């Protein structure tokens, strides 16, 4: 089952949902701002993306700039920051089995569906 971690206020995230609908494949939407992933889930997503936790952070968010930017944070502290402030999590994230992508640009989603 394909899962998209989605924020409806984000145009790229809405485009990702539209692309998945157009694909005809079954998928599940996780509104991650409301249904915050567990630390384990977030670690699994990061592992599937093959990135460090900092690669999943939206660094232009005010929360990041005001509270975290310029600090020497461990991976654990970055994970904790995303869990405490899910708005910091990049979007959309699409997971299909053992593969995952950040759907920016939206066309990247095609590589795993």
> Which of 3, 10, 15, 112 does the annotation list as catalytic?
10
Beta-carbon contacts of 46 under 8 Å, excluding residues fewer than 6 positions away, are 52, 53, 55, 56
Contacts of 20 (CB under 8 A, 6+ apart): 2, 4, 27, 94, 109, 113
Measure the CA angle with vertex 86, ends 80 and 6; round to 5°: 140
Indicate the pairing of strand 93-96 with strand 2-6.
antiparallel
Is residue 61 part of the annotated active site? The answer reads no
Residues with active-site annotation: 10
């Amino acid at each position: 089952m394909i899962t998209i971690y989605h924020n409806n206020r984000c145009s790229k995230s809405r485009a990702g949902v539209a692309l998945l609908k157009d694909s005809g494949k079954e998928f599940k939407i996780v509104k991650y701002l409301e249904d915050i992933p567990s630390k384990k889930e977030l670690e699994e997503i990061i592992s599937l993306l093959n990135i460090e936790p900092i690669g999943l952070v939206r660094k232009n968010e005010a929360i990041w700039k005001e509270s975290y930017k310029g600090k020497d944070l461990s991976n654990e502290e970055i994970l904790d920051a995303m869990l405490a402030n899910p708005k910091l999590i990049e979007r959309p994230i699409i997971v299909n089995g053992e593969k995952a992508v950040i759907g920016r640009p939206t066309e990247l989603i095609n590589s795993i569906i």
